[in-house]
């Protein structure tokens, strides 16, 4: 533990890659010309006003979402097909409005082929292929991804428990709350959990929508991928009965990164709203190249300086998914995981507040 804490004093740098996956990213360089200085002065005046306005608008949208979906929507609970349509329309609408008021005026979404020479695939066709019980796999860096996935799919969000290797279906609100929180290894005694295949059957039969899985189990700053939880180890290729859709999210920023790993979440949200605009890029792996395809083969690593992560025998499917995520986002794989994130949060809160934050 002492060696690990000494490592965290250097920002939690991964020994294999030299990447610090838990620290908030900072701009690589600062423009010091006269226009940048003028923009800085104007920002000091305008950004607080902009932040408060966006914050109020987002709060109104959140209240409307809660009232229309979680309160009024309960009256339609027994009419499954009607309820699902109603739930999807309002969740998608208000999630997108929330992102808009947060400064994500346009979201760049593209379907990517990892095979050379293949044409791009229309985004709409790829998204429309997502069915009830399909699994959507995504990296996890912020609460922004939660809102994006709610907007696109209105899915069943999940929380991973590595001690039991099971999943807990959670609501949109719980997923937002858990972003950046202490990772939990064991489920509470009063919570029902499922293995992946059980949850897929449940979502398919009851038409609950696709299932979102964050295989890293906790948030990073988006500079690299963490070790996965072996939630897919009971599967074999090709994956049958459901499809696996792999997404990677990345952000562009000049002053403040939308990724959230540590610190006060509300203040992070205020700072995010105070920016003039925010940029989100989403890459979706072509379904024809996913693990659900009968012709699935691991694409060759492109020459990007990124080492090929090894395939582990414990979770072959999960390792292949992580490989594909790394290629899709051109990100390297670290040796850090959920336990390291928990230890880093202990270190961070003790150093910033003088005591470890209550979990």
| pLDDT for 114 | 84
Residue 299, pLDDT score: 47
The pLDDT score that the predictor gives to residue 96 is 97
- Contact, 170 vs 161, CB < 8 A? no
Instruction: Pinpoint the alpha helices (H) of the chain.
Output: 2-8, 34-65, 80-101, 123-128, 143-153, 172-178, 196-205, 265-273, 316-329, 338-353
Q: Give the pLDDT confidence score for residue 171 in this predicted structure.
A: 95
Average pLDDT of each block of 10 consecutive residues along the chain (359 residues)? 51 70 73 56 71 93 95 87 92 96 93 71 60 94 97 96 94 95 90 93 93 95 91 79 92 88 91 91 88 59 43 72 91 90 86 61
- Residue 319 confidence (pLDDT): 87
| pLDDT in the model for residue 308 | 43
Q: Distance (Å, rounded) from C-alpha 330 to C-alpha 325?
A: 8
Which tokens go with 62? 């959140």
Residue ranges covered by each domain of the chain: 30-296+308-353
Whole-structure pTM value: 0.87
**Cα–Cα dist 321/232, whole Å:** 9
pLDDT value of residue 72 = 92
């Amino acid at each position: 533990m002492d060696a690990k804490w000494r490592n965290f004093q250097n920002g939690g740098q991964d020994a294999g890659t030299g990447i610090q996956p838990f620290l908030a990213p900072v701009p690589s360089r600062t423009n010091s010309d006269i226009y940048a200085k003028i923009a800085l002065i104007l920002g000091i005046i305008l950004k607080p006003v902009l932040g408060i306005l966006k914050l109020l608008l987002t709060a109104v949208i959140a209240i409307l979402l809660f009232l229309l979906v979680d309160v009024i929507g309960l009256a339609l609970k027994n009419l499954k097909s009607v309820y699902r349509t109603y739930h999807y329309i309002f969740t998608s609408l208000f999630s997108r409005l929330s992102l808009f008021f947060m400064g994500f005026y346009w979201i760049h979404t593209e379907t990517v082929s990892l095979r050379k020479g293949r044409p791009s695939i229309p985004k709409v066709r790829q998204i429309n292929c997502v069915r009830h019980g399909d699994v959507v796999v995504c990296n996890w860096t912020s609460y922004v991804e939660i809102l994006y996935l709610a907007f696109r799919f209105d899915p069943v969000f999940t929380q991973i428990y590595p001690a039991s290797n099971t999943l807990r279906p959670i609501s949109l609100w719980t997923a937002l709350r858990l972003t950046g929180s202490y990772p939990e290894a064991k489920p509470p005694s009063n919570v029902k959990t499922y293995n992946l295949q059980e949850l897929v059957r449940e979502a398919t039969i009851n038409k609950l929508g696709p299932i979102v899985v964050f295989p890293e189990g906790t948030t990073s700053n988006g500079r690299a991928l963490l070790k996965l939880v072996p939630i897919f180890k009971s599967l074999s290729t090709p994956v049958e009965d459901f499809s696996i859709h792999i997404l990677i999210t990345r952000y562009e920023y000049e002053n403040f990164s939308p990724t959230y790993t540590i610190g006060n979440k509300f203040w992070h949200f205020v700072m995010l709203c105070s920016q003039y605009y925010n940029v989100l890029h989403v890459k979706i792996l072509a379904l024809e190249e996913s693990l659900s395809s009968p012709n699935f083969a691991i694409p060759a690593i492109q020459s990007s300086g990124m080492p090929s992560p090894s395939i582990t025998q414990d979770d072959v499917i999960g390792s292949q998914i992580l490989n594909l995520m790394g290629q899709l986002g051109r990100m390297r794989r670290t040796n850090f995981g959920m336990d390291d994130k928990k230890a880093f949060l202990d270190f961070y809160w003790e150093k910033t507040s003088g005591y470890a934050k209550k979990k």
